[in-house]
A = this chain, B = another copy of it.
Amino acid sequence: MDEFELIDRYFVRSPPAEAHGVMLGVGDDAAVLEVPAGFDLVAAVDTLVEGRHFLSSTPSRSVGHRALAVNLSDMAAMGAEPKWATLALTLPAVDAAWLDGFSSGFHALAAEHGVCLVGGDTTRGPLTVSVQILGLVPRGGALRRGGGRPGDLLVVSGTLGDAGGGLELARSGPPADAATAKLIERFDFPTPRVQLGLAARAAASAAMDISDGLVGDLPKLARASGVGAHVSIERLPISAPLQEKFNAARARDLALAAGDDYELLLCVPPVKLQQLQASAERLNLTLTVIGELSAESRIRWTFHGEHFAPQVTGYNHFG
CB-CB nearest in chain B for A48: B123
Query: Is residue A283 within 8 Å, beta carbon to beta carbon, of the partner chain?
Result: no
CB-CB nearest in chain B for A49: B125
Task: A251 to B137: give the CA distance in the assembly, Å.
Answer: 52
CB-CB nearest in chain B for A118: B43
Is A51 a contact of B125 with CB atoms below 8 Å? Answer: yes
As for how many copies of this chain the complex holds, the number is 2
Binds B, one of A77-85, A159-167, A228-236, A285-293: A77-85
Query: Among the listed B43, B74, B91, which residue makes an inter-chain contact with A84, where contact means beta carbons less than 8 Å apart?
Result: B43
Query: Among the listed B1, B91, B134, B144, which residue makes an inter-chain contact with A24, where contact means beta carbons less than 8 Å apart?
Result: B144
Is A29 a contact of B78 with CB atoms below 8 Å? Answer: yes
Is B130 a contact of A30 with CB atoms below 8 Å? Answer: no
A156 CB to nearest B CB, Å: 15
Kindly supply a per-residue 1/0 record for chain A positions 85-112, scoring 1 wherever the CB is within 8 Å of any chain B CB and 0 otherwise: 0111011011000000000000000000
A91 CB to nearest B CB, Å: 8
CB-CB nearest in chain B for A40: B32
Is B123 a contact of A47 with CB atoms below 8 Å? Answer: yes
Task: A2 to B209: give the CA distance in the assembly, Å.
Answer: 20
CB-CB nearest in chain B for A76: B29
Is A142 a contact of B52 with CB atoms below 8 Å? Answer: no
Residues from chain B with a CB closer than 8 A to the CB of A316 are 2-4
Task: A132 to B94: give the CA distance in the assembly, Å.
Answer: 24
Query: Is residue A33 within 8 Å, beta carbon to beta carbon, of the partner chain?
Result: yes
Residues from chain B with a CB closer than 8 A to the CB of A31 are 42-44
Query: Is residue A174 within 8 Å, beta carbon to beta carbon, of the partner chain?
Result: no
Query: Counting chain B CB atoms within 10 Å of each CB, which of A6, A128, A209 scores highest?
Result: A128
Residues from chain B with a CB closer than 8 A to the CB of A119 are 43-45
Task: A27 to B53: give the CA distance in the assembly, Å.
Answer: 21
Residues from chain B with a CB closer than 8 A to the CB of A134 are 41, 43, 134
* Given A3-B318, A74-B29, A317-B123, A90:B35 Cβ within 8 A: no
Residues from chain B with a CB closer than 8 A to the CB of A130 are 45, 47, 88, 121, 130
A50 CB to nearest B CB, Å: 8
Is A35 a contact of B32 with CB atoms below 8 Å? Answer: no
The 4 A-B pairs of least Cβ separation, nearest first, read: A49-B125, A30-B44, A29-B77, A126-B126
What would 20 A/B residue contacts be, using CB atoms closer than 8 Å? A2-B316, A3-B316, A6-B318, A23-B142, A27-B224, A28-B146, A29-B145, A29-B209, A30-B42, A30-B80, A32-B40, A33-B42, A34-B40, A41-B41, A45-B86, A45-B120, A52-B123, A122-B318, A128-B128, A130-B130
**7 further A-B pairs in the complex, CB-CB below 8 A; given A29-B74, A43-B119, A45-B119:** A28-B145, A30-B44, A31-B42, A45-B87, A45-B88, A49-B123, A91-B318
A interface residues (Cβ-Cβ under 8 A, vs B): 1-4, 6, 23-24, 27-35, 37, 39-47, 49-53, 74-75, 77-78, 80, 84, 86-88, 90-91, 93-94, 118-126, 128, 130, 132-135, 137, 139-140, 142, 144-146, 207-209, 224, 316-319
